[in-house]
Amino acid sequence: MFIDRVKIKVRAGKGGDGMASFRREKYVPLGGPFGGDGGNGGSIIFEADPNKSTLLDLRFNRHITAEDGGKGLNKKMHGAAGNDFIVKVPIGTIIKDIKHDLILADLIEVGQQAIIASGGRGGRGNWHFATSRNPAPDFAEKGELGEDKEVEVELKLLADVGLVGFPSVGKSTFLSVVSKAKPEIAAYPFTTLIPQLGVVQVPDGRSFVLADLPGLIAGAHQGKGLGHQFLKHIERCRVLVHIIDMGAEDHRDPIEDFRVINEELAEYEYRLTERPQVLVANKMDLPEAKENLARFKEAYPNLPIYETITLIREGLDQVLYAVADILETASTFIQDEVQNEAVHYKFIEEIPFEIRRIKDNTYELFGDRIQRIFHRADITTEQGAHRFSRQLRHLGVDQALRAKGVKNGDIIVIEDYQFIFMD
Ligand SMILES: Nc1nc2c(ncn2[C@@H]2O[C@H](COP(=O)(O)OP(=O)(O)OP(=O)(O)O)[C@@H](O)[C@H]2O)c(=O)[nH]1
Ligand SMILES: [Mg+2]
């Protein structure tokens, strides 16, 4: 099975909670705060691995989590950092944040990595919070939650060259004779159901990656046949080898074939017609081939076209040389907005907080910033709770609540907790 798109959930590790403890040593009378910091949570990192060719693994692992950081320890000792989780994916994998419709990473090089969900920072131990007014804070900071996202992972093959043409024109046969790939070859349309890649060695030592694709038919760009779902795989090809069955084995007109395929390429969204094409007149062994080729040349007098009989490997070297020559100067086609830049999620705008009235006298407080502060707060101690309310005041929450009509004694809900507003 060829899996080229899958939705998964990723959750990075939570940072370990900081510790609240005090120095207790025999001859040290006023032991100060001494609790260590929590370790950072593990991140979820995607890595391009040349040994992977599909996203099949992800299909069976739809929830990926990384390890939480360890709690801070006594004597200012750090908690252990959580291990990162490395997800190996094929080269050419694009990772998208579904909620924000944002491309997070486009892994196009061997070993390239991108942090898709960052682990939460560990909470600071209580000694960080000592001040002259409060030399013995009894609270510590909690670990931050790890990032939690739903992502769409998509594979777009990274072949230099793509084979296009109607079904049964000999695309797979071509790939099979110029590379070690062993695609299925048969005299019925749509033999090739999933894209196949092969590494082609040109006799002079150059090489490139060639993709054999399912045949295209009229209407492919609208989803007819198998065309559309695979056209996207040639988005990244720099050169197209367009194979035409000059023998007209399926009783179509080769000249018409050429026009239809180009029309499909033009209709498809991604500038496919900007790719240089190398034209191949295949099946030149068939009786009508010569005559068809003559007509083709009349119709397109200025287009170079290579004659081949892929079945017996005739005429192929010239095609390979032509392709390799063009590749030397052809431009790359990587999605503009991504280029090589790995991670983009930092540009997501953070909502500090919002207030929603749930019912009379009850309001919900939510938003990225407020929730983060809340998760880090230790509200189980009085001092910790005080610090939390100070932080809210700093953010302007109190004022905003008043402006919303919140009065003394009203209930404020944050996630599962309820607080009473005291003005
Ligand atoms: N006579 C002749 N037949 C050929 C030649 N090249 C390929 N064929 C035959 O054409 C038929 C289709 O070949 P494939 O390579 O499977 O064609 P394809 O373009 O990959 O077809 P799809 O995968 O269905 O799109 C097979 O029976 C091949 O043996 C050739 O040069 N001459
Ligand atoms: Mg095929």
Q: Which ligand is nearest to the CA of 176?
A: 1
Q: Which ligand is nearest to the CA of 226?
A: 1
Q: What is the pLDDT of residue 338?
A: 44
pLDDT at position 339 over 50: no
Q: Which of 27-31, 169-173, 243-247, 323-327 has the lowest mean pLDDT?
A: 27-31
Q: What is the pLDDT of residue 355?
A: 93
pLDDT at position 343 over 70: no
Q: How remote is the CA of residue 222 from the centroid of ligand 2, in Å?
A: 21
Q: How remote is the CA of residue 322 from the centroid of ligand 2, in Å?
A: 22
pLDDT at position 380 over 60: yes
Atom index in ligand 1 nearest the CA of residue 310 equals 31
The chain-wide mean pLDDT, for the chain, equals 88
Q: How remote is the CA of residue 55 from the centroid of ligand 1, in Å?
A: 29
For residue 387, give the 3-state DSSP assignment: helix
The residue that leads in pLDDT, 313 or 193, is 313
Q: Is 190 in the pocket of ligand 1 (CB under 6 A)?
A: yes
Give the mean pLDDT of 253-272.
88
Atom index in ligand 1 nearest the CA of residue 214 equals 25
CA distance 369 to 353: 6
Atom index in ligand 1 nearest the CA of residue 312 equals 31
Q: Is 185 in the pocket of ligand 1 (CB under 6 A)?
A: yes
CA distance 385 to 394: 14
pLDDT at position 344 over 70: no
Mutate which of 217, 309, 311, 316 to test ligand 1's pocket (most atoms within 8 Å of Cβ)? 311
- CA dihedral angle for residue 339, residue 341, residue 342, residue 343, rounded to 10 degrees: -110
Q: Which of 141-145, 294-298, 303-307, 336-340 has the lowest mean pLDDT?
A: 336-340
pLDDT at position 135 over 60: yes
Please give the share of the chain, as a percent, with pLDDT higher than 90. Answer: 58
Output the residue whose Cα is nearest ligand 1's atom 24. 190
Q: What is the pLDDT of residue 342?
A: 42
Q: How remote is the CA of residue 277 from the centroid of ligand 2, in Å?
A: 19
pLDDT at position 346 over 70: no
Q: How remote is the CA of residue 267 from the centroid of ligand 1, in Å?
A: 26
The residue that leads in pLDDT, 231 or 298, is 298
pLDDT at position 341 over 50: no
Mutate which of 163, 164, 168 to test ligand 1's pocket (most atoms within 8 Å of Cβ)? 168
DSSP 338-375: TTT----GGGSPPP--EEEEEETTEEEEE-HHHHHHHH
pLDDT at position 123 over 90: yes
Give the mean pLDDT of 355-372.
91
Q: Which ligand is nearest to the CA of 174?
A: 1
Q: What is the pLDDT of residue 157?
A: 72
Its pTM stands at 0.66
Q: Is 196 in the pocket of ligand 1 (CB under 6 A)?
A: no
Give the tens place of pLDDT for each residue, 211-255.
Answer: 888 888 777 666 666 656 667 777 778 899 999 999 999 899 999
Give the tens place of pLDDT for each residue, 39-91.
Answer: 999 999 999 987 787 788 898 888 999 999 999 999 999 999 999 999 999 88
Q: Which ligand is nearest to the CA of 216?
A: 1
User: In 3D, which of 86, 140, 135 has the Cα closest to residue 113?
Assistant: 86
Q: Which of 26-40, 41-55, 156-170, 282-296 has the lowest mean pLDDT?
A: 26-40
Q: What is the pLDDT of residue 223?
A: 64
Model confidence at 410, in pLDDT bands (50, 70, 90)?
very high
Q: Is 229 in the pocket of ligand 1 (CB under 6 A)?
A: no
User: In 3D, which of 169, 254, 245 has the Cα closest to residue 212?
Assistant: 169
Q: Is 248 in the pocket of ligand 1 (CB under 6 A)?
A: no
User: Which segments within 213-267 are labelled E, that is strand?
Assistant: 239-245
Give the mean pLDDT of 377-395.
91
